[in-house]
Chains A and B, each alone.
Chain A
Amino acid sequence: MRMEAIQSKATESAVSDELALVQAAKQGDVSAFEQLVKRYDRNIFRIAQHITQNREDAEDVVQDAFLKAYENLEQFQGNSKFYTWLVRIAVNESLMKLRRRKTSKTVSMDEDVETEEGSMPREFADWSPNPEQQYGQSELGDILRKTIQGLPTSFRTVFVLRDVEGLSTEETAEMLSLSIPAVKSRLLRARLQLRERLNRYFKKNKDGDGNHQ
Chain B
Amino acid sequence: MKCTEFLKELTDYLDGTMDSATRVELEEHLQWCHNCYVVCNTTKMTIEIYRNNEVYDLPDPLRTKLQTAIISKCKGKKHKPEA
Contact = CB atoms under 8 A, between A and B. Distances in A.
Interface of A: 26, 28, 30, 33-34, 37-38, 41-42, 45-46, 49-50, 58-59, 62-63, 66-67, 70-75, 120-121, 124-127, 131-132, 137, 140-141, 144-145, 148, 159, 163-164, 166, 169, 184, 187-188, 191-192, 194-195, 198-199, 202
Contacts of B56: 45-46, 49-50, 58, 145
A41 B66 contact: yes
Interface string B22-55: 0000000000001100110111011101111111
B80 A72 contact: yes
Interface string B55-66: 111100011001
Given A74-B80, A194-B50, A41 B58 contact: yes
B53 A140 contact: yes
B62 A73 contact: no
A137 B57 CA distance: 12
Instruction: Report whether over half of chain B's contact residues are helix, strand or loop; otherwise say mixed.
Output: helix
Contact of B74 (A33, A126, A188, A194): A33
A165 B71 CA distance: 25
Contacts of B34: 124
Contacts of A38: 67
Contacts of A159: 50
B1 interface: no
Interface residues of B, number: 45
Contacts of B21: none
- The A interface, classified by DSSP as helix, strand, loop or mixed, is helix
B2 interface: no
B81 A74 contact: yes
B77 A148 contact: no
Contact of A132 (B53, B63, B75, B83): B53
Contact of B11 (A50, A67, A166, A188): A188
Going nearest first, the 10 A-B pairs with the smallest beta carbon separation are: A49-B56, A74-B82, A45-B58, A188-B11, A195-B46, A124-B35, A66-B70, A195-B43, A46-B56, A70-B74
A74 B66 CA distance: 23
Contacts of A50: 55-56
Given A144-B55, A195-B46, A198-B49, A30 B81 contact: no
Contact of B62 (A59, A125, A187, A195): A59
Given A33-B74, A45-B56, A194 B46 contact: yes
Given A62-B70, A132-B52, 11 more contacts: A34-B71, A37-B71, A41-B63, A42-B63, A46-B58, A70-B79, A120-B7, A127-B41, A127-B42, A191-B43, A191-B46
